[in-house]
């Protein structure tokens, strides 16, 4: 595979070409379906440089965030987020005065979007939020990293199904600096 090089000839550890996104998301969906607790996972975030991804699992009391690591390990492995990762991929929750679970992802580009944690008839969790101005059941996000040796986000792409029409909605959200 062709790899772009950063200044001084060192490889860029975070960036990958946007045209690789669909294949990566497909591989991650397949990995996710193999997880024994897939029915408890409400959402996931993938990123550009490998097939590791962050999952958001509802355990009945809180949303737990963890990596499912697939790169350079003999088997899929789960890892907690470190402090820097918590800042980028973590989640904040609170219970509203009406008893609803309100969720905000910490990713800078989308932290202003409050979502509701909902459960279906089989107690499977979902995040309901806005994509393209429409109420959607969020399925995933994809973080496109900028080129460079320091990790920084170029944009976050949100994926979800419209509650009204059932159609897939996709929105690219850029953080304004």
pLDDT of 176 reads: 65
* Cβ burial, residue 162 (10 Å; 0-12/13-18/19+): middle
Structure confidence at residue 146 as a pLDDT band (50, 70, 90): confident
Highest mean pLDDT among 10-24, 67-81, 106-120, 143-157: 106-120
> What's the predicted TM-score (pTM) here?
0.85
pLDDT of 7 reads: 37
Return the domain boundaries, the chain: 7-173
Handedness of CA 116, 56, 84, 158 (dihedral sign): negative
């Amino acid at each position: 595979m062709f790899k772009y090089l950063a200044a001084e000839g060192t490889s860029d550890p975070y960036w990958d070409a946007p045209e690789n996104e669909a294949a990566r998301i497909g591989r991650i969906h397949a990995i996710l379906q193999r997880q024994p607790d897939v029915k408890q996972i409400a959402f996931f975030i993938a990123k550009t440089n490998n097939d590791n991804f962050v999952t958001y699992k509802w355990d009945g009391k809180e949303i737990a965030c963890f990596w499912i690591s697939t790169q350079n390990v003999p088997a899929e492995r789960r890892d907690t987020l470190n402090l820097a990762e918590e800042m980028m991929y973590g989640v904040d929750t609170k219970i509203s005065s009406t008893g609803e679970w309100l969720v905000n992802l910490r990713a800078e580009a989308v932290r202003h979007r409050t979502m509701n944690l909902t459960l279906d008839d089989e107690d499977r969790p979902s995040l309901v939020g806005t994509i393209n101005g429409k109420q959607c059941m969020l399925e995933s996000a994809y973080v496109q990293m900028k080129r460079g040796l320091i990790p920084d986000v170029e944009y976050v792409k949100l994926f979800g199904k419209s509650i009204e029409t059932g159609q897939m909605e996709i929105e690219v959200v850029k953080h304004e600096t």
